[in-house]
Structure 1
């Protein structure tokens, strides 16, 4: 017997193929499956024998299409077909491999489906096409990938009455996005189900709680629908009315949910179903076990655990944009997100001074978000207090013992020619070091935060308002950012002292300077000096906290551009820095006079001196850890990118940034082309850059908002804002007026002119060069200890930070007055265009 009706077949008959076995099982258990029959796998064996076929997969496929049916085989198959056609206008013919849809080897989508089959000739032709698909190249590759050793051609064919579905769809009994067993997901659209299976339409989506039947739904475009015609299947665009409404009502969704639960209970594990609805009757067209769930779960837990799921987004997550401006590249995300999570989890437990613990850190649309929980706020422990006098020294001990030795190894790796084994070893060591590095990063930062909070509390006992002045009393201490600027200024002095060099820097554009300087001996000597500068200070990237942009060490343009700015501006670094020191001393002397209690004055002075000496921690840890680790990692990874290019995995070495870490490791072990994936990710990163990232996800409570603002500053726009006023955090005192210049990234630095008011999302040490020319600084994000606040105070610039709205509300050329003492920005005059 070569064919058997669903209702007469044995459930366990392997001759039916997997799809056939599933349909037989469903029909036998009373589920609404359309009638049909199975052409058993022995029919293909008989066909091969009758035609004496042999050869490899490719030859076998062609031979089957050219073969003929024996009279016995043809008569039996066509008899079953005509019997089915007595009840249905047409049939669907689908392949049913014995290895398809079975546990551990889901071949879904690898074989063939044919709809609206009406004639004997069509029927027999499609049966041969299903058989031939078993030998197709794509199935052979898939079998090889799955390590499937089935050599016997166990291919059955399912022939089923075609349901002319008005609505059809796919159901997953376990939410495939979140892997949540408590939810099922339905995707539905109009017409025959092939439109959804093939991905031709954007369906309506329904998430259903399997216990309460609560429904969450999202409308899809449902761009077209497929339907049967006299011959074959046609497509037609949906109407505006069809697109604007859901294709299933809530009662039908609940009915589908009940059917899914019943089917899942029958199998005993998660399933995916295909259904159709015709003349108000529901049909179950296919069911198969979800064999990829363990693989998907493993990918989510081990490889992409740091990616935020829809289920995650129901919780409150805080955008970490004040520290890491997104979006970030996939490879950097693979390194930094687990490192941030590990480091923050360790340090918020060790130093619980802010009243929060970090639960998770995850990536959403290229941005990094953290999830924290409120804990009892505790004063610094005795162990933490004992660190206060030595915070800076302690930081340098950690840098010298942990970071600099590792960087020496990275420098060597940036000049090697890798084998796959050495590249994999280097990458895995780098990945492990990011975890260690960020544990130490926060181990350095959190005790300083505790000290600052302690001093703020003491300051508040004397001055209830204007805490900005406290931090101006901590300015005027040389740190690595200022030290970098001073060296650039000293190089600019050399230029000004040489008529020949001054002529070059005054005449040529910054990108022409390297070539022009090479044309004279004096110019060459100056470039050597710049090279020595970059060996020590060039470890910062154009895009801070990522790997995708050049470092200063790779390209002298960036340093030369800054030197040129000093040459043209006439800025005197030492003179201005001396003024900042003098202002600090005067402010502190005035403040001490306000303290009447001698004992409190001595205590405050002790904590103040500790805070002053540790004020370098903010910028110096960024110099040696945040910036230097990424910059040196970039050069090391570029060498791995060269190897992947040679192996045909990517087209260009810098395409490595668009692979996730697990993909890099996999490619080094088993190289496969990933050019298309890299190109898609590159475009996606560009798309993410155009999105306005939310300050937070979820619906926070008032307490959660308060805790979040302790960490990052304001996360919502100030309610006091009006048409002519914007409010933010008073970060550096003083009042100044000037024209707005909105700068979005380092590529726009050349647009900034002396006397402009700098308006931006946030700043990093790379932005420090703009401060010498700015009249004032305004940012969307950032708090009192952010980079923008610290450098504004060092340069004596009024600054209002954390406005959440400045880059949207202000335009280039608007005249504003920035009051850095009160935190108010006044729009004096709008630019006319």
Structure 2
């Protein structure tokens, strides 16, 4: 027998050639393969015997083309051809070598494919051309290069009903660019697949997360398409409409992804697939192994899909340091970067805020985003949500976040097996996608509302000064202020108890816990602190990472804050009342100056909505940004313990220096990764010492303008002089005093009452310094950053986004900070 139908052949038939075997296997397992048959390798052997041909002949290719079929061979092959033609207008004829797609060598593209074959004469001629291709110079050269010593003419031919595809393409079940097994990549264009395989078009590209089915798209030019003609294949130009839209719908992309996953599971290794879609039906035209995995693994040892590549450096990337203090640990980066990209992309389209995130990636431990200018939102975008934004946030927190936090609490108390740890780890990664979807779903409508009110304010005020505008939104209780107030109340308790007061006045912060344990009053006080921390302690020393202790783990941080209140005599309620009174006075004065009663009424309506939502910036950070990372850390420490027990790492906190795929693989197959962890820890510390660029690429002025809307200033103000530094006016007022540059939490004890705080950025952990500071200056951040919000709440001047203050100012310099005009003046140098 020289030919056999796909559905009747044995799946292990060695006579079918690699391509034939693959199609037989796919057909046997019910995947959507067009009907066809395989001309087995013994047919070529018979043909060569009938024509007295020898493969060592220098003219073997020409001799095969000139050869004739015996009646027996011709009858069997043409009989199979006509049976297939009963169901299809034409067929495709493809070579199928036994040496094709061997492990470590892919012969894809080295053999022949012929499309739209209709007649017996064409069919037999193309079969001979496929056979001849086995001996072609390019294939022989490729075999030699790959050390392939197969000498027998083991060439089969696949004959398959031709699908007149509306759309076709190629799928890689493992992202071939990033080598990421969690993603598949689809390249697709119009018409027959030959246009893509031959490189004649720039296809649309779709990257699909194999777990969440999240789709990343990049539109291609799709310059031409190929279709069946009366004879052979015709090339046509695509229309403007075809080029301007994606050739696949999201539903089709997901259907292709599901079929690809089934195919990959069937083979047990990554595959690439050629497909066609005709009349809304998907067909698999061929599948083969991705055969360069081992080489790719070595090349991608330290590369991940979320890292900026050399090719990416041609684009404009903005450092997101005003939102996430960098660098971040490898494990956290592999979780947070995909989550941020997912949430930003989805919600920037739902709630346009002037820019759209194209991608979020990591560079030297820092998170960067690539943004394009977006359209400004419709006048009424999100308006139906404006009256209930705060209530809506708390409803989302209650139903989405808190139940998962309960799960994390349970997981943190569980002794895990490798299987249970892996399952929980994957659920945590999946939840981060949900968490950052909801994160931006909460924040963006509030930003739209605030921007709407600000535009109204500037229209009425006739100027672009914003500090007073935001001060009209202060004096609204939020979770950070609530935390501070409770810490202050603990300090009041201390001041009313002579024994506790003596301890707090005469003990170093790091020794407070041990000192308190020595008395009954102290023990009770620590128990009260512990209860407080179970609710308010889910914040890390380093915001937005897993790497540092949380307050809940160590009462030192709360005790140090209480001690600061005891020493500085700050009265939270009195100061908060002053802030409220200032806000009310500013607002009433502004409102009285609006002459048009209808405009006054409209402004007041939007103002009340905005004031009601003013707690969102801090409260979402408390419940999402801080709490999720803190709860995740508690669970992940258990995973670290398990990996340490299995010899993967030495200490549980070495876990932070593994990537997510390292963790998953090590749970399944424990091998030592300690050397990798140590190298990454060293690189992390190097990134901490180096100054990360504010942006990458060569932006236009328009791009810089977009960037400033997103993260604040990205370049140093051109008005700067030796003794003057300009930044964003974030909190009004003027103050003069000595500089104290604080670089991280370990330096907090250096800060004294009356200093001017100069730092890169602040997070909620830094709030305790605001009680003592005369003014705040930062390198990064804008009008809505943490530093700006808290400075306004505490009523102290703030100039932010200077880009250069921590470099140009030194401890002891006497400076004047004008928070109303965003100006810093050096009075004298230390």
Task: Give the TM-score category using the shorter length.
Answer: 0.5 to 0.7
How far has the Cα of 1:714 moved from its partner?
A: 1.0
Supply the distance in 1 between the matched residues of 2:178 and 2:471 (Cα, whole angstroms): 48
Asked if 2 retains the 8 angstrom alpha-carbon contact of 1:178 and 1:309, the reply is: no
Asked if 2 retains the 8 angstrom alpha-carbon contact of 1:303 and 1:662, the reply is: no
How far has the Cα of 1:559 moved from its partner?
A: 0.3
Establish whether residue 447 from structure 1 lines up as the match of residue 462 from structure 2.
no
> Secondary structure of the equivalent of 1:427?
helix
| Other-structure match for 1:666 | 665
5 Å matches for 1:284-683? Answer: 292=292, 296=296, 304-352=304-352, 354-382=353-381, 384-463=382-461, 464-683=463-682
How far has the Cα of 1:379 moved from its partner?
A: 2.8
Supply the distance in 2 between the matched residues of 1:297 and 1:626 (Cα, whole angstroms): 34
| Other-structure match for 1:702 | 701
How far has the Cα of 1:377 moved from its partner?
A: 1.4
Asked if 2 retains the 8 angstrom alpha-carbon contact of 1:778 and 1:806, the reply is: yes
How far has the Cα of 1:297 moved from its partner?
A: 8.4
> Secondary structure of the equivalent of 1:361?
strand
How far has the Cα of 1:529 moved from its partner?
A: 0.8
Supply the distance in 1 between the matched residues of 2:543 and 2:322 (Cα, whole angstroms): 12
Supply the distance in 2 between the matched residues of 1:700 and 1:727 (Cα, whole angstroms): 22
> Secondary structure of the equivalent of 1:552?
coil
| Other-structure match for 2:724 | 725
Supply the distance in 2 between the matched residues of 1:673 and 1:405 (Cα, whole angstroms): 35
- Per-residue displacement from partner, 1:308-336 (whole Å, max 9, x unpaired)? 11001110001100000110000000110
- Per-residue displacement from partner, 1:7-65 (whole Å, max 9, x unpaired)? xxxxxxxxxxxxxxxxxxxxx9xxxxxxxxxxxxxxxxxxxxxxxxxxxxxxxxxxxxx
- Per-residue displacement from partner, 1:533-583 (whole Å, max 9, x unpaired)? 101100000000000000000000000000000000000000000000000
| Other-structure match for 1:283 | none
How far has the Cα of 1:105 moved from its partner?
A: 4.3
> Secondary structure of the equivalent of 2:331?
helix
Asked if 2 retains the 8 angstrom alpha-carbon contact of 1:178 and 1:311, the reply is: no
Supply the distance in 2 between the matched residues of 1:691 and 1:303 (Cα, whole angstroms): 21
Aligned residues: 558
Supply the distance in 2 between the matched residues of 1:498 and 1:326 (Cα, whole angstroms): 42
Supply the distance in 2 between the matched residues of 1:609 and 1:663 (Cα, whole angstroms): 50
Supply the distance in 2 between the matched residues of 1:465 and 1:302 (Cα, whole angstroms): 47
Supply the distance in 1 between the matched residues of 2:103 and 2:815 (Cα, whole angstroms): 65
- Structure 1 residues 472 and 544: CA distance shift in structure 2, 3 A: same
- Structure 1 residues 418 and 506: CA distance shift in structure 2, 3 A: same
How far has the Cα of 1:357 moved from its partner?
A: 1.1
- Structure 1 residues 583 and 645: CA distance shift in structure 2, 3 A: same
Supply the distance in 1 between the matched residues of 2:435 and 2:295 (Cα, whole angstroms): 31
Supply the distance in 1 between the matched residues of 2:685 and 2:438 (Cα, whole angstroms): 32
How far has the Cα of 1:291 moved from its partner?
A: 6.1
Supply the distance in 2 between the matched residues of 1:299 and 1:494 (Cα, whole angstroms): 61
Asked if 2 retains the 8 angstrom alpha-carbon contact of 1:650 and 1:656, the reply is: yes
| Other-structure match for 1:819 | 818
How far has the Cα of 1:591 moved from its partner?
A: 0.5
Supply the distance in 1 between the matched residues of 2:315 and 2:668 (Cα, whole angstroms): 37
- Structure 1 residues 611 and 691: CA distance shift in structure 2, 3 A: same
Supply the distance in 2 between the matched residues of 1:708 and 1:568 (Cα, whole angstroms): 42
- Per-residue displacement from partner, 1:633-656 (whole Å, max 9, x unpaired)? 000000000000000000000000
Asked if 2 retains the 8 angstrom alpha-carbon contact of 1:358 and 1:370, the reply is: yes
- Structure 1 residues 295 and 337: CA distance shift in structure 2, 3 A: farther
5 Å matches for 1:188-199? Answer: none
Asked if 1 retains the 8 angstrom alpha-carbon contact of 2:357 and 2:372, the reply is: yes
How far has the Cα of 1:301 moved from its partner?
A: 13
After superposing the two structures, state which structure 1 stretch, 290-299 or 443-452, moved more. Answer: 290-299
Supply the distance in 2 between the matched residues of 1:667 and 1:706 (Cα, whole angstroms): 45
| Other-structure match for 1:750 | 749
After superposing the two structures, state which structure 1 stretch, 487-496 or 296-305, moved more. Answer: 296-305
How far has the Cα of 1:355 moved from its partner?
A: 2.0
Asked if 1 retains the 8 angstrom alpha-carbon contact of 2:539 and 2:627, the reply is: yes
| Other-structure match for 2:118 | none
How far has the Cα of 1:295 moved from its partner?
A: 6.4
| Other-structure match for 1:804 | 803
> Secondary structure of the equivalent of 2:552?
helix
Supply the distance in 2 between the matched residues of 1:366 and 1:375 (Cα, whole angstroms): 27
Supply the distance in 1 between the matched residues of 2:384 and 2:303 (Cα, whole angstroms): 40
- Structure 1 residues 680 and 301: CA distance shift in structure 2, 3 A: closer
Supply the distance in 1 between the matched residues of 2:516 and 2:681 (Cα, whole angstroms): 36
Supply the distance in 2 between the matched residues of 1:651 and 1:395 (Cα, whole angstroms): 41
> Secondary structure of the equivalent of 2:680?
helix
> Secondary structure of the equivalent of 2:739?
strand
Supply the distance in 1 between the matched residues of 2:460 and 2:373 (Cα, whole angstroms): 29
Supply the distance in 1 between the matched residues of 2:637 and 2:545 (Cα, whole angstroms): 13
Supply the distance in 2 between the matched residues of 1:491 and 1:178 (Cα, whole angstroms): 52
Asked if 1 retains the 8 angstrom alpha-carbon contact of 2:178 and 2:300, the reply is: no
- Per-residue displacement from partner, 1:377-399 (whole Å, max 9, x unpaired)? 123435x1000000000000000
Supply the distance in 1 between the matched residues of 2:178 and 2:698 (Cα, whole angstroms): 19
Asked if 1 retains the 8 angstrom alpha-carbon contact of 2:178 and 2:303, the reply is: no
> Secondary structure of the equivalent of 1:462?
helix
Asked if 2 retains the 8 angstrom alpha-carbon contact of 1:299 and 1:305, the reply is: no
**Which consecutive aligned stretches of 4+ in structure 1 deviate over 2 angstroms post-superposition?**
102-106, 176-179, 290-303, 378-382
How far has the Cα of 1:356 moved from its partner?
A: 1.4
| Other-structure match for 1:132 | none
- Structure 1 residues 300 and 440: CA distance shift in structure 2, 3 A: farther
Supply the distance in 2 between the matched residues of 1:294 and 1:555 (Cα, whole angstroms): 45
Supply the distance in 2 between the matched residues of 1:736 and 1:392 (Cα, whole angstroms): 34
Q: Which runs of 5+ in 2 are unaligned?
A: 1-57, 59-100, 106-148, 150-175, 180-198, 201-289
> Secondary structure of the equivalent of 2:453?
helix
- Structure 1 residues 372 and 506: CA distance shift in structure 2, 3 A: same
Asked if 2 retains the 8 angstrom alpha-carbon contact of 1:729 and 1:803, the reply is: yes
How far has the Cα of 1:303 moved from its partner?
A: 8.2
Asked if 1 retains the 8 angstrom alpha-carbon contact of 2:467 and 2:731, the reply is: yes
- Structure 1 residues 714 and 506: CA distance shift in structure 2, 3 A: same
Asked if 2 retains the 8 angstrom alpha-carbon contact of 1:177 and 1:309, the reply is: no
How far has the Cα of 1:763 moved from its partner?
A: 0.6
Asked if 1 retains the 8 angstrom alpha-carbon contact of 2:178 and 2:304, the reply is: no
Supply the distance in 2 between the matched residues of 1:507 and 1:554 (Cα, whole angstroms): 24
Supply the distance in 1 between the matched residues of 2:709 and 2:321 (Cα, whole angstroms): 15
Q: Which runs of 5+ in 1 are unaligned?
A: 1-27, 29-101, 107-153, 155-175, 180-209, 212-289
- Structure 1 residues 732 and 294: CA distance shift in structure 2, 3 A: same
Supply the distance in 2 between the matched residues of 1:294 and 1:357 (Cα, whole angstroms): 37
How far has the Cα of 1:307 moved from its partner?
A: 1.0
- Per-residue displacement from partner, 1:261-291 (whole Å, max 9, x unpaired)? xxxxxxxxxxxxxxxxxxxxxxxxxxxxx96
- Structure 1 residues 299 and 434: CA distance shift in structure 2, 3 A: farther
How far has the Cα of 1:375 moved from its partner?
A: 2.3
> Secondary structure of the equivalent of 2:460?
coil
How far has the Cα of 1:672 moved from its partner?
A: 0.6
| Other-structure match for 2:772 | 773
- Per-residue displacement from partner, 1:127-169 (whole Å, max 9, x unpaired)? xxxxxxxxxxxxxxxxxxxxxxxxxxx9xxxxxxxxxxxxxxx
